[in-house]
């Protein structure tokens, strides 16, 4: 009887969370691959390069974001969830992205196919919308996205945020957005990254005291499992086991943290003996390492590069591949082969790719390959990120 009470109590606590169920979809790159379009590989960390920041009209500093390559080669899945904007509410599927700070959605101001293919926000249908003349410009690898800023009521996870500034798209590139499953992006990084000096959704939640705690947390399902979620204000204790291990944010822009070490089959590589930096990015599907480490890492895994720039392994040998580990704040976080190997069918043949890519920046990116293994908590009050073993 005692155990039944405990289980029911945990279930009740879980039900009270401000939760966004996340749906798992194929990445834009995989959608294009299945249509016979192979995008060239591009550095997933292009968005972090300062020389990719530009000024457009009166919008201030704008950050380049390349989502086709952040959900990049090899093919991986991405996770989207529903929000609503306006009165009465209009619903949209968005990518919740810890690697950017703006909220934008497709809108009726945009007439090209990449916009009309998706659900479009109609400002004229909302009694709470107010417009501005401020324009933002976001360059992408295959084109550019233009948007105008406006204000309206936004609802996320049952939390109502009045007068939230957001971007209404006015022009989008056909690739990759035509094949994207989302209608927009909700950025969860720090406000210093926001284009047009727009206040991010999370910051408005904090300023309006809408959260029990100023944090949010992700659980990303493995394989084809359902049940992924994003919670605001509390952690979901049903989604992890053991304790949450915390590491401090080293730069309040992206969710940037330090790495103390990197191991292959429990053997220290020495690559981060002087310390490395990493960005925890739900908008990137892969694990990304600095370019100078990639050759040795792929050699350790036994991977070979194919004509599309992907590193592949023999699918019959995946169980024999090494476990790799990252150490943060003295705690090792192992990734077994099942975490970093992706298998897909190409022309009737099974192909096993290594879901680890390289960047020319001296920066690791902990994308969904890492975050599927570890429940992640983003704490704005204490400026820290927590990881616990996902269930």
- Residues with a catalytic annotation lie at 97, 281
Task: Collapse the DSSP code of 30 into the 3-class scheme (helix H, G, I; strand E, B; otherwise coil) and give the result.
Answer: helix
Instruction: Tell me whether strands 103-105 and 159-171 are parallel, antiparallel or unpaired.
Output: parallel
Q: Which of 93, 143, 146 is nearest to 120 (CA)?
A: 93
Q: What is the Cα 62 distance to its own chain's centre?
A: 19
The answer to whether 325 touches 336, Cβ cutoff 8 Å, is no
Q: Strand order of the sheet with strand 341-346?
A: 304-305, 311-313, 349-354, 341-346
Adjacent-strand bridge partners of 217: 231, 377
Structure-derived torsion over alpha carbons of residues 123, 126, 129, 135, reported in degrees to the nearest 10: -10
Distance CA 3, CA 133 (A): 59
Distance CA 16, CA 71 (A): 32
Whole-Å CA distances, 82 to 85, 94, 224, 378:
10, 6, 19, 20
Within 8 A by CB and 6+ apart from 5, the residues are none
Q: Which of 62, 45, 44 is nearest to 53 (CA)?
A: 62
Q: Which of 118, 143, 171, 119 is nearest to 68 (CA)?
A: 143
């Amino acid at each position: 009887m005692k155990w039944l009470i405990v289980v029911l109590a945990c279930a009740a606590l879980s039900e009270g969370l401000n939760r966004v169920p996340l749906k798992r979809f194929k990445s834009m790159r995989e959608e294009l691959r299945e249509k016979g379009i192979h995008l060239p590989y591009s550095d997933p960390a292009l968005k972090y390069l300062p020389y990719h920041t530009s000024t457009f009209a009166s919008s201030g500093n704008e950050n380049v974001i390349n989502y086709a390559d952040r959900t990049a080669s090899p093919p991986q899945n991405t996770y989207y969830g529903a929000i609503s904007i306006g009165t009465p509410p209009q619903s949209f599927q968005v990518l919740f992205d810890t690697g950017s700070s703006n909220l934008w959605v497709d809108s009726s101001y945009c007439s090209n196919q990449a916009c009309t293919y998706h659900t479009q926000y109609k400002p004229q249908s909302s009694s709470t919308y107010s417009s501005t003349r401020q324009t933002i410009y976001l360059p992408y690898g295959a084109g550019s996205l233009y948007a105008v800023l406006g204000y309206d009521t936004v609802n996320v996870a049952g939390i109502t945020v009045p007068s939230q500034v957001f971007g209404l798209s006015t022009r989008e590139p056909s690739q990759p957005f035509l094949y994207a499953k989302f209608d927009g992006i909700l950025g969860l990084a720090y406000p210093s990254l926001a284009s047009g000096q727009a206040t991010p959704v999370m910051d408005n939640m904090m300023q309006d005291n809408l959260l029990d705690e100023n944090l949010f947390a992700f659980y990303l399902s493995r394989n084809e499992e359902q049940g992924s979620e994003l919670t605001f204000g509390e952690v979901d204790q049903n989604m992890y086991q053991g304790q949450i291990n915390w590491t401090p944010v080293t730069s309040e822009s992206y969710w940037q943290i330090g790495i103390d070490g990197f191991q292959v089959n429990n053997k220290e590589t020495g690559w981060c003996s002087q310390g490395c930096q990493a960005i925890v990015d739900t908008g990137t599907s892969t694990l990304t390492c600095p370019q100078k480490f990639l050759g040795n890492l792929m050699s350790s895994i036994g991977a070979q590069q194919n004509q599309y720039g992907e590193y592949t392994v023999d699918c019959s040998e995946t169980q024999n591949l090494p476990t790799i580990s990252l150490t943060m704040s003295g705690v090792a976080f192992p990734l077994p082969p099942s975490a970093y190997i992706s298998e897909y069918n190409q022309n009737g043949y099974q192909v096993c790719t290594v879901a680890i890519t390289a960047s020319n920046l001296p920066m690791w990116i902990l994308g969904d390959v890492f975050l599927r293994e570890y429940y992640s908590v983003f704490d704005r009050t204490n400026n820290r990120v927590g990881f616990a073993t996902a269930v």
